[in-house]
Amino acid sequence: MADSYDGDSEPTTRTLLRRVLDTADTRTPRRRRSARVGYERALSESASNHTDYGSGLSRIQLAHVHTSGNVEEQTPRTLLKNILLTAPESSIMRPESVVKPVPTPQVVQSSRRDSSRGSLELQLPELEPSTTLALGLLAPGRRKQRLRLSVFQQGVDQGLPLSQEPRGNASASSLTSSLNLTFATPLQPQSVQRPGLARRPPTHRAVDVGAFLQDLRDTSLALDTQPFSQPLVGRSPSGYHSLPCLSHTEVEDAERAISHRTQSSGPRLQNHNPGKPAQLLAGKAKKVDAHAVSFPNNSSTISGEDGVEPLQDGVDEEAEERMEETSPELASSTTEFLQARQPQFLEPALPPRTAVLSSEPLEPLPTRLPPRARTPGPRPRQDPHKTGLSHYVKLFSFSAKMPMEKKALEMVEKCLDKYFQHLCDDLEVFAAHAGRKTVKPEDLELLMRRQGLVNDQVSLHVLVERYLPLEYRQLLIPCAFSGNSVFPAQ
Amino acid sequence: MAFSTTVSQRKHIKRKAPRGFLKRVFKRQKPHLRLETRGDLLVHLNCLLFVHRLAEETRMNAFENKCGVIKKEHVQAAAKVILKKSRG
């Protein structure tokens, strides 16, 4: 590489160079530079010198030239350029400090234009090639922002006051764009242009919930007279839903109950309300007390149903208190009623029952009592033995898959008795052989092995898996669980 | 056949082991011995297998006699064989 100083014959270049070097912040050892770089530098210097800028701009431009030509050189210009790149905002306010990391030919062009135009106009030509560059470099999605840049440029051209910051942004963005960096700054003008889009009105739900709760309370106040708990009690064994669902249905049902007054709404309430939280129940129980006098019939049913449901909920005390407060006579009848109704709850045919029950609470009582009075007679001693055996007899008939005579079934029972005897004898022998008085599973395994059920091919675990249900399998076959534990423990 | 199968299936839904019954039987037979918890289930398994074998043998006997219905004789003959087998 020929030394630029030796190669350059123009005295102007040299003088310019010297001027630049003198004005440079830090002195750097002169290095050999390519002729091309020297020429470009000279041109830029000549162009820049015509302008009225300080030496800073020319320095900066030179720095760019240098960086484009020689990357490894650490000249003051390159340093300055790097600083400006990293902190473009500071340079925004001053048009002179605008840095352009554009490749050399464009820099040359811009520098040429700069010489002809004023300070403001300097920005435009610089920006235009940068935007064209950016279009090529960035993704097509950036079109909108680039358009705004052009708008800003036009505004700048017209000398609008807002051009300062946005222009600075545009310039910075142009810088970044040419370097394939993301467009961070243009987002600000977006928000500035359309403040309405920045935020949306939140929380529609809060209002609804508040109004909803108020409706709840209003309906709960009105619900005390209705046999509201009646269908709840009927549905309590089926399960409990979450509170919002309950409140929804409660509101609806409350409205309907108010309009239709009892039975018609009963089944609907039942269908919708499987259960209730204790709070609402307690509140309603209190309401029941308040209105017990005016509505004795309803209150009896209500207190009855309230009594059943709190019992199932586990709030017995309140219910009992309420029941006591209302009326002792009704309480006795309701307790019987409750007892009578409890088996009914489990039955699926609830809607017709509730209608019947609510209208005629006393009628089911006499029908329920007689079956309770009848108790079964003394059981025969063999009965449990027979019932236990019958289990295996049924299994036998199922396995046979053929119709059987009753005598055959009796024969099977005898066989089973014999079998159990043999079994116990064998187990006793095995346990005694092992010196134990407790029969353990090992004895059972030995028995099965002797019977020929367990071979070397077929193990006990295989049989367990084949014939027993999962719950028993889990108990019999040791399985490893997390935490280095085995169940059942051996 | 269809009727019996449906009836049997309805009965057979419960696959529970009559653990209390088994414990009681053992206690009655051998009061001086004790039976473990898991041994109970294995006894049930043993009974199941016994019943299976017995039913199979009975069916074969009934087929040999070309009867569509299981009779006492079939069961008796089958029981002899199977009890001999499960003597251990």
Lookup: tokens for A200? 């949306």
Tokens 């464009």 sit on residue: A106
pLDDT for A400:
85
Q: CB–CB of A412 and B54 under 8 A?
A: yes
- What percent of chain A shows pLDDT beyond 90? 6
How far is the alpha carbon of B78 from chain A, nearest alpha carbon, in Å?
Answer: 10
Strands (E), A370-483: 438-439, 479-481
What's the predicted TM-score (pTM) here? 0.38
pLDDT band, residue B47 (cuts 50/70/90): very high
Instruction: Kindly tell me if the per-residue pLDDT of A149 is higher than 80.
Output: no
Quick one: average pLDDT of A192-221?
Answer: 66
Lookup: tokens for A324? 């006591």
| CB of A95 closer than 8 Å to CB of A123 | yes
Least confident among A270-284, A423-437, A453-467, B15-29? A270-284
How far is the alpha carbon of A300 from chain B, nearest alpha carbon, in Å?
Answer: 42
pLDDT for A266:
42
As a whole number, the mean pLDDT across chain B is 82
Please tell me the number of Cα atoms within 13 Å of A174 on its side-chain side.
29
Q: Which residue of A has its CA nearest to B85?
A: A451
The whole-angstrom separation of Cα A89 and Cα A219 is 63
H or E, element range at A485: strand A485-487
CATH topology assigned to domain B17-84: Histone, subunit A (1.10.20)
* Residue B42 touches chain A, beta carbons under 8 Å: yes
Please tell me the number of Cα atoms within 13 Å of A334 on its side-chain side.
26
Quick one: average pLDDT of A4-26?
Answer: 67
Instruction: Kindly tell me if the per-residue pLDDT of B75 is higher than 70.
Output: yes
| CB of A273 closer than 8 Å to CB of A231 | yes
As a whole number, the mean pLDDT across chain A is 60
* Cβ contacts of A432 on chain B, cutoff 8 Å: none
Q: CB–CB of B79 and A468 under 8 A?
A: no
pLDDT band, residue A435 (cuts 50/70/90): very high
pLDDT for A28:
53
Q: Which amino acid is at A15?
A: T
> Which bin fits A314, alpha (ψ -120 to 50), beta or left (φ > 0)?
left
Q: CB–CB of B25 and A385 under 8 A?
A: yes
Q: Is A71 helix (H, G, I), strand (E, B) or coil?
A: coil
Q: Which amino acid is at A293?
A: V
| CB of B50 closer than 8 Å to CB of A452 | no
Domain boundaries, chain B: 17-84
The whole-angstrom separation of Cα A453 and Cα A305 is 58
pLDDT for A14:
79
A485-487 and A479-481 strand pairing:
antiparallel
Higher pLDDT, B27 or A98: B27
With b for 16 or more beta-carbon neighbours within 10 A and e for fewer, the A270-290 pattern comes to bebbbbbeeebbbbbbebbbe
Higher pLDDT, A268 or B40: B40
Instruction: Kindly tell me if the per-residue pLDDT of A431 is higher than 90.
Output: yes
Instruction: Kindly tell me if the per-residue pLDDT of A458 is higher than 50.
Output: yes
The whole-angstrom separation of Cα A40 and Cα A170 is 27
Tokens 């059981």 sit on residue: A379
Q: CB–CB of A423 and B43 under 8 A?
A: yes
pLDDT for B42:
92
Q: Which amino acid is at A256?
A: R
Model confidence over A288-297: pLDDT tens digits? 444 444 444 4
Instruction: Kindly tell me if the per-residue pLDDT of A443 is higher than 70.
Output: yes
* Cβ contacts of A428 on chain B, cutoff 8 Å: 30, 33
* Cβ contacts of A410 on chain B, cutoff 8 Å: 72
pLDDT band, residue A213 (cuts 50/70/90): confident
Distances (CA, A) of A128 to A108, A121, A136, A141: 14, 11, 13, 19
pLDDT band, residue A372 (cuts 50/70/90): low
Q: At A367, phi and psi to the nearest 5?
A: -70, -30
pLDDT for B15:
79
Q: At A486, phi and psi to the nearest 5?
A: -120, 135
Q: Which amino acid is at A220?
A: S
Q: CB–CB of B49 and A388 under 8 A?
A: no
DSSP symbol at A97: G
DSSP symbol at A314: T
How far is the alpha carbon of B25 from chain A, nearest alpha carbon, in Å?
Answer: 8
Q: CB-CB: which of A398, A410, A418 is closest to B8?
A: A398
- What percent of chain A shows pLDDT beyond 70? 29
Q: CB–CB of A404 and B69 under 8 A?
A: yes
* Residue B51 touches chain A, beta carbons under 8 Å: yes
Instruction: Kindly tell me if the per-residue pLDDT of A146 is higher than 90.
Output: no
pLDDT for A375:
61
pLDDT for A11:
66
Instruction: Kindly tell me if the per-residue pLDDT of A123 is higher than 50.
Output: no
pLDDT for A89:
56
Distances (CA, A) of B72 to A161, A254, A407, B2, B75: 114, 68, 6, 22, 5
Higher pLDDT, B43 or A55: B43
Quick one: average pLDDT of A427-441?
Answer: 91
Interface test with B, best of A405, A416, A423 (most B CBs within 10 A): A423
Quick one: average pLDDT of B41-46?
Answer: 92
Sign of the alpha-carbon torsion through B16, B21, B24, B25: negative
pLDDT band, residue A429 (cuts 50/70/90): very high
How far is the alpha carbon of A386 from chain B, nearest alpha carbon, in Å?
Answer: 10
pLDDT for A3:
47
| CB of A408 closer than 8 Å to CB of B74 | yes
Quick one: average pLDDT of A83-94?
Answer: 62
Q: Is A28 helix (H, G, I), strand (E, B) or coil?
A: coil
Strands (E), B1-88: 34-35
* Cβ contacts of A419 on chain B, cutoff 8 Å: 47, 50, 83, 86
* Residue B29 touches chain A, beta carbons under 8 Å: yes
Higher pLDDT, A245 or A370: A370
* Residue B60 touches chain A, beta carbons under 8 Å: no
How far is the alpha carbon of A472 from chain B, nearest alpha carbon, in Å?
Answer: 7
pLDDT for B43:
92
| CB of A345 closer than 8 Å to CB of A236 | yes
Q: CB–CB of A403 and B86 under 8 A?
A: no
* Cβ contacts of A451 on chain B, cutoff 8 Å: 46, 85-88
* 3-state helix vs strand vs coil in chain A, percent to 5: 70, 0, 25
Q: CB–CB of B47 and A439 under 8 A?
A: no
Least confident among A141-150, A183-192, A307-316, A403-412? A307-316
Angle, alpha carbons A394-A395-A399 (nearest 5°): 120
The whole-angstrom separation of Cα A369 and Cα A340 is 8
* Residue B2 touches chain A, beta carbons under 8 Å: no
Q: CB–CB of B72 and A419 under 8 A?
A: no
Q: CB–CB of A395 and B56 under 8 A?
A: no
Quick one: average pLDDT of A372-390?
Answer: 70
Q: At A456, phi and psi to the nearest 5?
A: -70, -25
pLDDT band, residue A206 (cuts 50/70/90): low
Least confident among A114-128, A298-312, A410-424, B65-79? A298-312
> Which bin fits A392, alpha (ψ -120 to 50), beta or left (φ > 0)?
alpha
ipTM confidence score: 0.87
Quick one: average pLDDT of A243-256?
Answer: 47
Lookup: tokens for A147? 């358009």
pLDDT for A148:
60
Cβ-based contacts under 8 A for chains A and B: 179
| CB of A32 closer than 8 Å to CB of A3 | yes
